[in-house]
Amino acid sequence: MAPSQFQVRRLVPADAADYRLIRLAALQGEPCAFGSTYEAEAGRPLTHFAERLATCAVHGAYSAAGILGMAGFKCQEGTRRCHKAFVWGMYVRPEMRRQGVARALMQALLEEARGLVEQLTLCVVQDNAAAIALYRELGFEVYGVEPRALKDATGYADEVQMVRFLARPS
């Protein structure tokens, strides 16, 4: 799908139903990739999702068919950490992958974050080679691997830790 066939925009609390829909699809479709679970979030009220949109920068990709994907970041709090933000929740529906949606979502996050923080960090499951390759192409660098970062009934998953510097420290 060409970028002209989808649109990326910042989600606001009024988009909570769309955000809930794509978040639950992510947790159900890729349970090993996220720190939360479908079961933990499916029962949460819509207000929970609206509150998250009010406190985090979350972008959604849309086509005429509806929401295709999401990615978010949250600025860290505190005087000594407020120069950083953590990228989370990157997900694109399987049928829309390899069509530029993830890249467009990440570029929107990078553009917004540049005015807010000096660096972005993220974690990605080590066996997700496509995501790691995309993040590298967008300037993220690996700075570590957390062994056994996630655990579920099937076992453990290591996470690659990555950083992207947006501005030189002042």
Tens digits of per-residue pLDDT, 84-93? 999 999 999 9
Confidence bin at 1 (pLDDT 50/70/90): low
DSSP symbols for 5-18:
GSEEEE--GGGHHH
Q: Which two tokens stand for residue 105?
A: 């979502």
Contacts of 98 (CB under 8 A, 6+ apart): 130
Tens digits of per-residue pLDDT, 55-89? 999 999 999 999 999 999 999 999 999 999 999 99
Q: Is 91 left (phi over 0), alpha (psi -120 to 50) or beta?
A: beta
Say whether pLDDT at 169 is over 70.
no
CATH code for residues 3-165: 3.40.630.30
Mean per-residue pLDDT of the chain? 93
Burial level of 120, CB count in 10 A (0-12/13-18/19+)?
Answer: buried
Q: Is the pTM of this model over 0.85?
A: yes
Mean pLDDT of 22-32: 94
The pLDDT, as a whole number, for residue 153 is: 85
Strand partners, 112: none
The domain limits of the chain are 3-165
Do residues 152 and 31 make contact, with C-beta atoms less than 8 angstroms apart? yes
**In degrees rounded to 5, what are phi and psi of residue 156?**
-110, 160
Do residues 144 and 102 make contact, with C-beta atoms less than 8 angstroms apart? no
The pLDDT, as a whole number, for residue 170 is: 57
Tens digits of per-residue pLDDT, 128-165? 999 999 999 999 999 999 999 999 888 999 999 999 99
The pLDDT, as a whole number, for residue 128 is: 94
